[in-house]
Homo-oligomer: A and B are copies of this chain.
């Protein structure tokens, strides 16, 4: 299923006849995508508990094994036989959140590479994890914002105190995140599926100007 350029193709096809047999060509190798119309009752199909087989660690829990090699990171089993999803460590989450709070929303390729290299010290990670994390975190922060605004938009009892911090002279009111939704930059980077050949390398990094937008700074004079 080394299918590439799928979504365009799919759109062209499915937007006309979504339920055609062609549409059955799901890309997902497993987990039969149920169509809304023909959705079987997925009411807790108590099939085998393969879960117990593929994850034979339900019983033993690591009781802080002191024999482990440095047992470094909090959790995150490093066994990834076949490919489990990324299980971030606390350090990684902390750094990512720090970056997010710093203003980063959609890091470009170079930044992702840097971040990945950095976070790789604290656990297994790859670039796409970083990318997805920012995507998800951004989206879910938005959701949270929206929910909160609906629920308790009234009587804003200073729920989010803008702490007026005083650091020497640069006490700064950090403007909240939430960049405007239509601030599309042409930071065009994309994922590629290195499958056939190396593309003509003709790119370069260095986007100091752009990064300045990612990080809302407050250039101020020296004290």
Chain A residues within CB distance 8 Å of chain B: 1-14, 16-27, 29-32, 34, 40-51, 54, 61-68, 70-75, 82-83, 90-91, 93-95, 97-99, 101-118, 121, 124, 126-128, 131, 135, 143-144, 147-148, 160-172, 174, 179, 183, 185-208, 211-215, 217-220, 222
Given A71-B64, A127-B189, does the pair A167, B108 have CB atoms closer than 8 Å?
yes
- Bound form: Cα–Cα A190–B164 in Å: 11
For the complex formed, measure the closest distance between the CB of A30 and the CB atoms of chain B, giving whole angstroms: 4
- Docked-complex contact A198 and B179, CB < 8 angstroms: yes
- Docked-complex contact B163 and A205, CB < 8 angstroms: yes
Q: Which residues of B contact A143 (CB under 8 A)?
A: 32
- The A interface, classified by DSSP as helix, strand, loop or mixed, is loop
- Bound form: Cα–Cα A16–B135 in Å: 26
- Bound form: Cα–Cα A48–B95 in Å: 22
Q: Which residues of B contact A29 (CB under 8 A)?
A: 14, 17
- Docked-complex contact A63 and B42, CB < 8 angstroms: no
- Docked-complex contact B17 and A11, CB < 8 angstroms: no
- Docked-complex contact B10 and A7, CB < 8 angstroms: no
- Bound form: Cα–Cα A14–B195 in Å: 15
- Docked-complex contact A14 and B40, CB < 8 angstroms: no
- Docked-complex contact A163 and B14, CB < 8 angstroms: no
Q: Which residues of B contact A27 (CB under 8 A)?
A: 8, 11, 42-44
A–B Cβ pairs within 8 angstroms, 15 of them: A3-B6, A7-B7, A14-B30, A21-B32, A23-B46, A24-B42, A103-B217, A106-B219, A108-B171, A109-B170, A162-B201, A187-B195, A189-B193, A192-B199, A201-B206
For the complex formed, measure the closest distance between the CB of A82 and the CB atoms of chain B, giving whole angstroms: 4
Q: Which residues of B contact A192 (CB under 8 A)?
A: 3-6, 9, 109, 164, 189-192, 199, 203
- Please list the 9 inter-chain residue pairs (A to B) with the smallest Cβ-Cβ separation, ordered nearest first: A109-B165, A109-B191, A204-B206, A109-B167, A64-B66, A103-B215, A103-B211, A23-B47, A127-B167
